[in-house]
């Protein structure tokens, strides 16, 4: 029993000494407390809020801004503009999007040039000026050593067809 009491008293003395000890951060706490004591934060005043004039829209006598005839862009080409030929037989390279095709080289015989195009499935195709590739009715109009230039037909939002230049660069 004496041993238990001596151990208990030693533990109590150790605990009381530990409670009285400092963690060595008193000077840091004092600095943080006094560092910005004399400085006051500067708050800018809020800007004045200007009231907006109210506008009452009375559409009874006005045309509908969302009517189909108001959505037509100015200078729209007539139906005689460029269109893809629906009767033309699709070529093998038209099954793939243009960005999935890779130009891997060119072939020349006299003045005739062919582009060597690799499809995503790994097959290699030979294409010349006038051939079609890509899913936007793209037709090759120029082949050089670095790239294939083509013109695609893109359908606009109102159903009109727009010609767009595109190219397929040589894979480096």
pLDDT tens for each residue of 39-55: 777 889 999 999 888 88
Give domain status of residue 9, yes or no.
Answer: no
Q: Work out how many domains the chain is built from and give that number.
A: 1
Rounded-to-10 torsion of CA 130, 132, 134, 140 = 0
Task: Give the phi and the psi of residue 95 in degrees, each rounded to 5.
Answer: -80, -15
* CATH classification at residue 106: 2.30.30.830
Query: Per the domain annotation, does 42 fall within a domain?
Result: no
Indicate whether 105 belongs to any domain.
yes
Which stretches of the chain score pLDDT less than 50?
77
> Using an 8 Å Cβ cutoff, are 113 and 103 in contact?
no
Q: What is the pTM of this model?
A: 0.52
Residue 138 lies inside a defined structural domain of this protein = yes
Range of the domain at 114: 96-169
User: What pLDDT score does 18 carry?
Assistant: 64
């Amino acid at each position: 029993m004496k041993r238990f009491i001596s151990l208990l008293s030693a533990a109590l003395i150790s605990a009381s000494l530990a409670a009285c000890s400092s963690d060595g951060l008193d000077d840091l706490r004092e600095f943080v407390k006094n560092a910005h004591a004399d400085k006051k934060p500067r708050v800018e005043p809020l800007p004045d809020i200007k009231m907006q004039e109210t506008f009452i829209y009375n559409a009874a006598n006005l045309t509908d801004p969302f009517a189909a005839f108001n959505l037509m862009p100015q200078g729209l080409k007539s139906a005689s503009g460029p269109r893809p030929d629906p009767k033309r037989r699709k070529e093998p390279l038209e099954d793939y999007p243009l960005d999935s095709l890779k130009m891997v080289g060119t072939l020349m015989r006299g003045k005739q040039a062919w582009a060597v195009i690799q499809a995503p499935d790994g097959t290699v195709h030979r294409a010349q000026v006038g051939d079609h590739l890509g899913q936007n009715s793209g037709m090759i109009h120029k082949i050089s050593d670095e790239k294939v230039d083509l013109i695609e037909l893109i359908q606009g939002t109102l159903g009109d067809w727009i010609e767009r230049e595109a190219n397929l660069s040589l894979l480096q």
